[in-house]
Amino acid sequence: MSDFTLKNKTAIVTGGGSGIGLAISRLFAQKGARVFIFEMNADQAQRLAAEIQAEGGQAVAVACDVSDQAQVQQQVNAILEQQPVDILVNNAGIAHIGNLDETTEADFDRIFQVNVKGVYNCMHALIDSMKANGGGVILNMASVAASVGIPDRFAYSMSKGAVRTMTFSVAKDYVTQGIRCNCISPGRVHTPFVDGYLARNYPGQEQEMFEKLSKTQPIGRMARPEEIASLALFLCSDEAGFITGCDYPIDGGFIRLNT
């Protein structure tokens, strides 16, 4: 990993203040990037930016709702006035549990606005600048749910399937303009979201259910956010300059070894 550097690169990481996004923001900064942390939770983003700066890295917290196109464009334009953006990591997303008949229109719209439109908004805000600057890297966060059926994840699977196919479309349309676009499809990752979900739904059984969920990955455990961040670093580095239009499952064998 020591060869993968982002020195002198500018990166935007959406949802960059917690979970996988936090791990990506921190690793990118450690590898020399100036990281703009787009977050709904401004305080969370500010705390992480301060930690990164204390460690000698460069980070800026940006309060932003990725589902709001005008807000995204305004924040992106403010950054572009200072420097071009080399890397966009579309990590912001929300979850929903429920099958088709348990998914209301409001549920569906909420997931779509953040997980699908949010990715579109950020790519749309940056694509002209990347074209004008001779290229860039876009990395989208999909999911194993985009490739295989997972019980009670109807709206979430819809959204991640859209992220996966948007990735392929953007990669195809802009390959001759120096823009690479890939996506990562994690399996279960141990983040604060998982702990919160277990505490809310299985009080007193958290450890038992954690082990049960962990064993759905053939490798026998959940991923660590830092493991997802390491793959993100590679795909956004110059060493991955020949890679575009790809989806990378990082799932402990979930897709291939369970089907």
pLDDT digits (tens, 9 = 90+) for 74-83: 999 999 999 9
Q: Is residue 141 part of a domain?
A: yes
Q: Give residue 202's domain range.
A: 189-222
Q: Is residue 2 part of a domain?
A: no
**Does 123 share its domain with 217?**
no
Query: Is 174 an active-site residue?
Result: no
Residue pLDDT, tens place only, 137-190: 999 999 999 999 999 999 999 999 999 999 999 999 999 999 999 999 999 999
pLDDT on residue 2: 53
**Does 205 share its domain with 166?**
no
Residue pLDDT, tens place only, 10-24: 999 999 999 999 999
Average model confidence (pLDDT) for the chain? 96
**Does 171 share its domain with 116?**
yes
Residues 6+ apart with CB under 8 A from 234: 4, 240
Residue pLDDT, tens place only, 230-254: 999 999 999 999 999 999 999 999 9
**Does 138 share its domain with 157?**
yes
Rounded Cα gap, residues 203 and 214, in angstroms: 18
Q: Is residue 56 part of a domain?
A: yes
Q: Where are the alpha helices (DSSP H) in the chain?
A: 19-30, 42-54, 69-80, 105-111, 117-132, 154-174, 192-201, 206-214, 225-236, 254-257
**Does 235 share its domain with 107?**
yes
* pLDDT reading at 258 higher than 60: yes
Rounded Cα gap, residues 48 and 14, in angstroms: 13
**Does 155 share its domain with 194?**
no
**Does 248 share its domain with 217?**
no
Higher-confidence position of 191 and 117:
117
pTM (predicted TM-score): 0.95
**Total domain count, the chain:** 2
Tell me which of 156, 197, 202, 248 is the catalytic residue: 156
Rounded Cα gap, residues 141 and 33, in angstroms: 19
* pLDDT reading at 1 higher than 50: no
Q: Is residue 89 part of a domain?
A: yes
* pLDDT reading at 134 higher than 80: yes
Render the burial of 138-163: b for 16+ CB within 10 Å, e for the rest.
Answer: bbbbbbbbbbbebeebbbbbbbbbbb
Rounded Cα gap, residues 220 and 233, in angstroms: 25
Rounded Cα gap, residues 29 and 135, in angstroms: 21
* Of 32, 34, 35, the residue nearest 1 (C-alpha): 32
**Does 212 share its domain with 153?**
no
* pLDDT reading at 39 higher than 80: yes
Distances (CA, A) of 102 to 96, 145, 155: 10, 18, 10
**Does 164 share its domain with 55?**
yes
Over range 32-47, report the average pLDDT. 96
**Does 236 share its domain with 113?**
yes
pLDDT on residue 259: 59
pLDDT on residue 3: 77
